[in-house]
A = this chain, B = another copy of it.
Amino acid sequence: MFKPRWAFVLIYLIILLSLHLGNVFATIPTGPLVQQQLDRVLRLPGQTFNVSFAHYAGYVNVNEDAGRALFYWFVEAAEDPASKPLILWLNGGPGCSSIAYGEAEEIGPFHIKADGKTLYLNPYSWNQVANILFIDSPVGVGFSYSNTSSDLLSNGDKRTAKDSLTFLLKWLERYPQYKGRDFYITGESYAGHYVPQLSQAIVKYNLATKEKAINLKGYMVGNALTDDYHDHLGVFQFMWSAGLISDQTYKALNLLCDFQSFIHSSNSCDSILDIASAELGNIDPYSIYTPTCPANVSQSNRLLKRVHMVGHINEKYDPCTEAHSVVYFNLPEVQKALHVDRRYAPSKWATCSDVVYTTWKDSPRTVLDVYRELIHSGLRIWMFSGDTDAVIPVTSTRYSIDALKLPSVKPWRAWYDDGQVGGWTQEYAGLTFVSVRGAGHEVPLHKPKLALALVKNFLSGSSMPSLKLVSDS
């Protein structure tokens, strides 16, 4: 149940009054708490249940000159948010919305029913253990925008990290109650670039300013693009071992694609990837054992960018969940409730931006150098992997970690949830690996309960549970 704090209620009333009076306060400077309360989201369209937590949505301007603004949705913890850490969640693509995936079908509390209009409460939302911040990153993604149209054609890793850092600093000004709070960055897929790069930017900023403006404690990435060479080897091996491609194609991929960039591949590699894609047939490469959404029969498999969605690994999974987001987030009343400015809203909201994806600029071949740097900074670093994803599979993550040549601290073993194997884990000096059994590319979508167990252990810094611990509890 929602319990209002009275100071906020008062500010509310003032704001509501101001809106009724025709925005008379529009030119009056607003304090952080006022803007915070302006961003507060009240009941959402299709929300048939009450919630115990506050949540906020709006923009943070990350570059005044260009007019670049990142859209965020911030969900406080379900209970006692002041005692809980702050988590940022980022989706990949490049070009995909963290609202579409992270919030609406993975770790967020508000999930969308098949009618595209009604919400239901995700019982495994990560806001059970943390305050969660979702941002549409970079500009051109989801509701994030730039007034400089060329910005949308010049996105890349460097500016994404820089704008995200600016976002966080300004966001903490708006939410001063989270200044100094334990902060963790999480994400999946191409966010395997964003997350360590942003972590690195924060560490550098803190060192330069000699104050911990952002109290970064660690980061965790899932099915993360990490190192093009090793990730490619892993993809090809996984596709062959799982029986998805022919011997001939496997050989050709290893011959023509192993040293390619994931984002900027050669024509000869692309043509073999097309053959591989045709051989896969109409499966969801992001979750190879689940059925596809019937609406997506003729789909192209673009690696990393989620152009389609499929699957059914637990009884409740709906392979068309992405389509429901498209309906919901295009509803004018939903956009209004989320404080989307209609002047800057996309004409049609999409889960992923083709423009951002196809015009992506700088994308280093590896972020392992960032890992090497950050492992020594004392951050907690976890890499997880849904083991039925063929896009950045468990083999890729294993090859990438192996390339770091870290000493093993605790050996490979199964971890457990409710007496069943939830996956496998190995702890290295400075890095922990955790796989999630039977989960695809979007781990919290297919295995929400296991994903919640994962983040709980990540936040507490403890090893994943063994069978014994589960039996003892």
Contacts and interface: CB of A to CB of B under 8 A. Distances in A.
A289 B289 contact: yes
A288 B424 CA distance: 12
A215 interface: no
Interface residues of A, number: 48
Contact of A419 (B237, B288, B297): B297
A421 B282 contact: yes
A395 interface: yes
A31 interface: no
- The A interface, classified by DSSP as helix, strand, loop or mixed, is mixed
Most buried by B among A292, A420, A467: A420
B246 A237 contact: no
Interface stretch (A60-68, A185-193, A406-414): A406-414
Contact of A237 (B241, B291, B297, B411): B241
A396 to B, nearest CB: 11
A411 B394 CA distance: 28
B279 A414 contact: yes
A181 B402 CA distance: 58
Interface string A266-308: 0000000000000111110000110110100100000000000
B238 A241 contact: yes
A247 interface: yes
A241 B242 contact: yes
Contact of A467 (B241, B281, B313, B423): B281
A398 B282 contact: no
Contacts of A423: 243
B424 A281 contact: yes
Interface string A216-240: 0000000000000000000001101
A241 B244 contact: no
A402 B282 contact: no
Given A241-B237, A414-B282, A291 B420 contact: yes
Contacts of A414: 279-283
A243 B426 CA distance: 11
Nearest to A294: B419
Contact of A388 (B249, B281, B289, B426): B289
A435 interface: yes
Given A289-B289, A289-B388, A294-B419, A244 B424 contact: yes
23 contacts: A237-B237, A237-B241, A240-B395, A240-B398, A241-B393, A242-B394, A243-B387, A243-B394, A243-B395, A243-B423, A247-B412, A248-B411, A279-B413, A279-B414, A280-B414, A282-B421, A282-B467, A283-B437, A288-B437, A289-B438, A291-B420, A294-B419, A297-B419
Interface of A: 237-238, 240-249, 279-283, 288-289, 291-292, 294, 297, 313, 315, 385, 387-388, 393-395, 398, 402, 411-414, 416, 419-421, 423-424, 426, 435, 437-438, 467
The 4 A-B residue pairs with the shortest CB-CB distance, nearest first, are A281-B414, A246-B412, A241-B241, A243-B394
